[in-house]
Amino acid sequence: MLSVFMLLTACGYHLRGEAIMPFKTIYISAANPGSALIKELRKSLKTNKIQVMEKPDKAEVILNIPLEQQDKVILSLDATGLVNEYQLRYRVSLRAYDNQQREWLPASDLLLTRDLIYDNSQILAMSSEEALLYQNMRSDMAQQILRRLSHAKPVALPEK
C-alpha cells in the first residue's frame, strides 16, 4: 500500500485539498448570486482561507460570473422518434480583475458536457440522474474555477 502511495506522489498526483491562492480576499459578482455554483464557490474559498467580501472595494480580486447556463440537447432518437440520448451542457462565463482594472483572469467561457442515455420507461429515475449529473457538473465547475484562480496573476496595465 505504501509503495502505491509513493508511486502516486512521485508522478505528481496530489489529493484534492487546499489550494494556495495568490490573494486573501475576493468579491463574487454574479448574474445569479444565489445559485448552487456560487454557494459552492463561496464555501470552497472559505475552506481555502479566502475571505469572501460583501463589497467589491474591499476585495483584492473581483470574480465576475455574468453567465451560468445549463442546457439539454437531443443527441439521438430511436426508430419511433423517442429520445435515446441527451447531452447535458453546463456553461459558465467568468472574468477576474482587481480594483485597478488589472486582469487576473481574462474573460472566458468554461463548458462541461455529459451524455445521458435516456430510458423512456424510467422517467423518474432519468430525472433524478439528470439532476445528479448537473450537481456533479457544478462541483466540477467550481473546482475548475478554483484551479484557475489559484494560478491567476495580475496583468500589468499598459503604460501611457
| Structural domain for 95, as ranges | 16-150
State the pLDDT at residue 20: 86
Q: Do the beta carbons of residue 52 and residue 58 sit within 8 Å?
A: no
pLDDT digits over 32-78, tens only?
A: 999 999 999 999 999 999 999 999 999 999 999 999 999 999 999 99
pTM: 0.82
Q: How confident is the model at residue 18 (pLDDT cuts 50, 70, 90)?
A: low
3-state SS assignment for residue 39: helix
- State how many domains the chain has: 1
In a domain, 160, yes or no: no
Q: Report which of 57, 82, 64 is spatially closest to residue 145, judged by C-alpha positions.
A: 64
At 101, which CATH number?
3.30.160.150
In a domain, 136, yes or no: yes
Q: What is the mean pLDDT of the chain?
A: 88
Predicted confidence (pLDDT) at residue 9 exceeds the cutoff of 80: no
In a domain, 7, yes or no: no
pLDDT digits over 76-111, tens only?
A: 999 999 999 999 999 999 999 999 989 999 999 999
In a domain, 2, yes or no: no
In a domain, 155, yes or no: no
In a domain, 9, yes or no: no
Q: Across the strands, what pairs with 109?
A: 93
DSSP result, 58-106: G-SEEEEEEEEEEEEEEEEE-TTS-EEEEEEEEEEEEEEE-TT--EEEE
In a domain, 158, yes or no: no
In a domain, 110, yes or no: yes
